[in-house]
């Protein structure tokens, strides 16, 4: 079985954990507030702003034998540069304060996911980061466009408040095809196990961010 197929099949229970977060169900039934959406965007900002630094770290730590993968990482960096500003613009267009969002402290769950990503790259193996790529881009394809439509219908916000969700829904469809091709070049069983294992953890970590959105309707969370 190819690595990409393993990622789809062996992470199913962990993916269900993310998708079963209460905020996801409430989103699709229209039971969501502007404060919920702004809180979601704020946490997105707090992890999206790390995407390019994380990718740079991965590229720097890959061995020479993975030069082909380093070249792919460079393409990812070009595609992802500046996306955190899209998120902040959506905050502002939704009635929030993008400066407040920028200066806010991330939820503990968000901080934990980001910290785990850096630790995985630096302490374990940079290949583990591709588990995070699978989770974030796969989730975008599964939910981004439909979530944007449901939220907009419930809240009556303008199209300009959904640049992050809608752009990633389309962009990540291209990325996933690219990602599948990359992962299927990784045939070493230990490397495959590492990436599958990290994807399972990132589904749990990302699911906890979604669950934290039901704990508060504010831009900050008490320590």
> What pLDDT was estimated at residue 96?
95
Q: How many CB atoms lie within 10 A of CB 202?
A: 26
* Helix, strand, coil percentages for the chain (3-state, nearest 5): 80, 0, 20
pLDDT confidence of residue 138: 83
Residue 52 has a pLDDT of 96
In angstroms, the Cα distances linking 45 to 10, 41, 82, 114 are 29, 6, 11, 12
Cite the beta strand spans of the chain per DSSP E: none
Q: For Cα atoms 68, 135, 190, give the angle at the middle one, nearest 5 degrees.
A: 55
CATH number of 3-212: 1.20.910.10
pLDDT at 171: 56
Per-residue b or e along 2-40, where b marks 16 or more CB atoms closer than 10 Å to that residue's CB: ebbebbbebbeebbebbeebebbebbeeeebebbbbbbb
Distances (CA, A) of 126 to 11, 93, 102: 20, 36, 28
Domain ranges of the chain: 3-212
The pLDDT, as a whole number, for residue 208 is 97
Give CA–CA dist 67/57, Å, rounded: 14
Per-residue pLDDT of the chain (223 residues; tens, 9 = 90+): 899 999 999 999 999 999 999 999 999 998 999 999 999 999 999 999 999 999 999 999 999 999 999 999 999 899 888 899 999 999 999 999 999 999 999 999 999 999 999 999 999 999 999 999 999 888 877 788 889 999 999 999 999 999 999 886 555 566 778 899 999 999 999 999 999 999 999 999 999 999 999 875 443 443 3
Residue 169: what pLDDT?
A: 57
């Amino acid at each position: 079985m190819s690595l990409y197929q393993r990622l789809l099949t062996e992470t199913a229970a962990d993916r269900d954990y993310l998708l079963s977060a209460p905020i996801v169900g409430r989103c699709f039934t229209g039971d969501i507030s502007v404060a919920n959406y702004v809180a979601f965007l704020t946490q997105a900002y707090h992890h999206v702003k790390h995407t390019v630094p994380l990718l740079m770290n991965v590229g720097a730590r890959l061995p020479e034998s993975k030069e082909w993968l380093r070249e792919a990482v460079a393409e990812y960096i070009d595609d992802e540069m500046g996306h955190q500003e899209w998120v902040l613009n959506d905050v502002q267009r939704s009635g929030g304060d993008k400066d407040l969002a920028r200066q806010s402290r991330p939820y503990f769950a968000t901080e934990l996911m980001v910290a785990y990503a850096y630790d995985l790259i630096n302490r374990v193996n940079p290949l583990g980061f591709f588990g995070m790529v699978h989770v974030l881009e796969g989730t975008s394809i599964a939910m981004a466009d439909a979530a944007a439509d449901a939220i907009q219908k419930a809240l009556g916000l303008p199209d300009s408040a959904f640049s992050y969700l809608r752009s990633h829904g389309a962009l990540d469809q291209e990325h996933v095809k690219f990602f599948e091709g990359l992962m299927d070049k990784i045939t070493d069983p230990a490397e495959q196990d590492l990436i599958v294992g990290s994807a399972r953890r990132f589904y749990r970590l990302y699911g906890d961010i979604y669950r934290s959105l039901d704990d508060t309707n504010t831009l900050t969370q008490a320590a």
